[in-house]
């Protein structure tokens, strides 16, 4: 199936029925053809609401979870956003339509490279992909208005909390990696941080270090 009008309508219907209601998020997701981020044999399943395997033993997230996380992040048009866990680049492509600038990092260099290639092919020019350990954040670009972590951390990483601007927020799956995790939204205030628990999710773990191939 190609991302024709019918595939798009069905895709958006599923997203809505799973709670993705923000019209800005739905419009951004309508624009980005997920099949371009899914390789080989799984291409045929690109419009199903399911996570799929990508290179380096990682996964492209389930579309409805991408939608719910993006909705929870409440990205504003002038925002500078950090994504930790580029994976396929799909989530970064969606963010690119909603804000001014996206930095996205993955610890697997081959994933960072292939994501950058797809984003370039799509003419998306406001995303920078870097191979780096995102648990340390990206100090040279901090502070960020929004941070989205798409791998599971045992706790919201300290460097990421520190790189959030006052008034900014971060969405991160928190919990043991081999269990279900809780999606947490952290908001930074003048004097500290607020934590709000959202839904239950299941992500690959946030690991340390960088893999070169």
Question: Does the protein bind ligand SAH through residue 71 (CB under 6 A)?
Answer: no
Q: How far is the CB of 205 from ligand SAH (least distance, A)?
A: 7
Q: Which two tokens stand for residue 25?
A: 């998020």
Residues between 2 and 61 with contacts to ligand SAH, criterion CB under 6 A:
58-61
Q: How far apart are CA 38 and CA 46, in angstroms?
A: 6
Which residue, 116, 93, 94, 117, is CA-closest to 106? 116
Please, which residues bridge with residue 35 across strands?
A: none
Q: How far apart are CA 190 and CA 197, in angstroms?
A: 21
Which of these segments, 38-46, 100-108, 169-177, 182-190, binds ligand SAH (CB under 6 A)? 100-108
Question: Does the protein bind ligand SAH through residue 135 (CB under 6 A)?
Answer: yes
Which residue, 36, 39, 15, is CA-closest to 27? 15
Which of these segments, 71-79, 131-139, 168-176, 194-202, binds ligand SAH (CB under 6 A)? 131-139
Interface residues toward ligand SAH, by CB under 6 A? 58-61, 84-85, 87-88, 90-91, 105-108, 111, 133-135, 150-151, 204, 206-207
Catalytic center residues: 61
């Amino acid at each position: 199936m190609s991302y024709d009008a019918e595939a798009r309508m069905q895709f958006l219907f599923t997203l809505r029925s799973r709670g993705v209601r923000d019209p800005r998020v739905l419009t951004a997701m309508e624009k980005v053809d997920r099949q371009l981020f899914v390789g080989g044999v799984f291409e045929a399943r690109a419009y199903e609401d399911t996570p799929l395997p990508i290179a380096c033993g990682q996964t492209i997230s389930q579309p409805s979870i991408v939608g719910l996380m993006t909705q929870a992040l409440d990205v504003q048009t002038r925002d500078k956003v950090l994504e930790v866990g580029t994976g396929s680049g799909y989530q970064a492509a969606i963010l690119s339509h909603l804000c001014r600038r996206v930095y996205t990092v993955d610890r697997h260099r081959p994933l960072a490279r292939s994501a950058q290639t797809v984003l370039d092919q799509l003419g998306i020019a406001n995303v920078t992909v870097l191979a780096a350990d995102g648990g340390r954040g990206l100090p040279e670009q901090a502070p960020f208005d929004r941070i989205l972590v798409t791998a599971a951390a045992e706790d919201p990483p300290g460097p990421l909390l520190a790189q959030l601007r006052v008034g900014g927020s971060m969405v991160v799956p928190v919990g043991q990696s081999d269990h279900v995790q809780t999606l947490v939204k952290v908001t930074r205030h003048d004097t500290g941080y607020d934590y709000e628990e959202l839904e239950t999710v299941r992500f690959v773990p946030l690991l340390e270090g960088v893999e070169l191939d």
